[in-house]
Amino acid sequence: MKISLVLPTYKKEREVIDQLERLYGFLTRVNPNFELIFVIDGYVDNTKDILTKYIKDNKLKKTKVIGYEENMGKGYAVRYGMERANGDIIGYIDADTDIQIRSLQHAIKQIKKEDVIAVIPSKLHKDSNVEMTFKRKIFSYGLIIINKILLKLPKNLTDVGCGLKLFKRDLIKRILPTLKVDRFAIDSEILNEIGKVGYSVSITPFFLNKNRSDSTSVNIKQIGTMIRDIFYISLENRKFHTSRVLNKLYR
Ligand SMILES: Nc1nc2c(ncn2[C@@H]2O[C@H](COP(=O)(O)OP(=O)(O)OP(=O)(O)O)[C@@H](O)[C@H]2O)c(=O)[nH]1
Ligand SMILES: [Mg+2]
């Protein structure tokens, strides 16, 4: 099975080569039929040039670097990459090295099973190992609760925001045209689409590296935008529901 991994990449000059090296090495060993798609989410620093040069120098074939001038957000970047992916398995992973490779190892093993359509790693899985600052914990768990209250998530889902998700191609290609969120609520939006049709997902353990750089993206503005987008998705759910009920009434 071919695996396409999309890496939404925003200002990752320092870490992106490490991430490329370890993913390339790991996938070459476990599943040589793969492609890595780096989506440069705005040409705002040297990430694109650094990547392109490294790939050329090392003659790495299974890697694409695509992107656009302006920063659009993680959601936009993920969609942009997934639209151009052709694997049997299509997923995305953060472009920095915070996520341990064994998270991917567990996820790949699960998604290869015939009856599994989506793998969603979770910090709450009993085997997970994630150390977070107090601020990050509050943010993370608060987010799960807001999502659970407002959205139609898959029933067995326990976590939303981990920076790694894998799907079967058919599922993601069907969902893609309905996605609209440009920023960080993309995870919520995808899971809501899966939940709406009543599918369940496979939950795998999640491992974060201990010595990771502290957050650049958990700021008030980003959180505000994310909550606004989750409300928006929730409203769309209700609209859809109301129009279906009305249709039934007036038919
Ligand atoms: N912050 C940010 N990240 C983006 C954006 N577009 C794509 N991304 C990618 O989204 C992923 C997650 O973003 P990160 O900034 O690493 O967020 P994080 O892991 O919560 O925070 P860090 O602790 O800073 O790593 C990374 O792969 C980013 O490159 C954007 O507009 N802003
Ligand atoms: Mg990160």
| From 173-182, 190-199, 210-219, 232-241, the region with the lowest mean pLDDT | 210-219
Residue whose Cα lies nearest atom 7 of ligand 1: it is 74
pLDDT mean over 36-50: 98
Of 203, 116, 197, 202, residue with least CA distance to 152: 197
Of 94, 106, 162, 158, residue with least CA distance to 130: 162
Q: Is the CB of 73 under 6 A from ligand 1?
A: yes
Q: What's CA 206's distance to the chain center, in Å? A: 13
Cβ contacts of 180 within 8 Å, gap of 6 or more = 189
Give the pair of three-digit tokens for residue 164: 């790694």
pLDDT mean over 37-49: 98
Could you report the per-residue pLDDT of 73-122, keeping only the tens digit for each?
A: 999 999 999 999 999 999 999 999 999 999 999 999 999 999 999 999 99
Q: Is the CB of 79 under 6 A from ligand 1?
A: no
What pLDDT, on the 0 to 100 scale, is given for residue 110?
A: 98
Q: Which amino acid is residue 225, in one-letter code?
A: T
- Write out 106-163 in H/E/C secondary structure: HHHHHHCCCCCCEEEEECCCCCCECCCCHHHHHHHHHHHHHHHHHCCCCCCCCCCCCC
The answer to whether 217 touches 224, Cβ cutoff 8 Å, is: no
**Mutational pocket test of ligand 1: of 65, 94, 160, the residue with most ligand atoms within 8 Å of the beta carbon:** 94
Read off the pTM.
0.95
Burial of residue 220 (CB within 10 Å: 0-12, 13-18, 19+) is exposed
Domains and CATH numbers, the chain: 3-250 (3.90.550.10)
In terms of phi and psi (left: phi > 0; alpha: psi -120 to 50; beta: otherwise), the region of 59 is: left
DSSP lists the bridge partners of residue 122 as 205
Could you report the per-residue pLDDT of 117-155, keeping only the tens digit for each?
A: 999 999 999 999 999 999 889 999 999 999 999 999 999
The Å distance, Cα 239 to ligand 1 centre, comes to: 31
Alpha helices, H only, the chain: 16-30, 47-57, 74-83, 101-111, 134-150, 169-175, 186-196, 220-250
pLDDT mean over 52-77: 98
Q: How far is CA 1 from CA 4, 41, 113, 169, 241, in A?
A: 10, 28, 11, 11, 37
Of 119, 123, 85, 84, residue with least CA distance to 104: 119
Could you report the per-residue pLDDT of 209-218, keeping only the tens digit for each?
A: 988 866 666 7
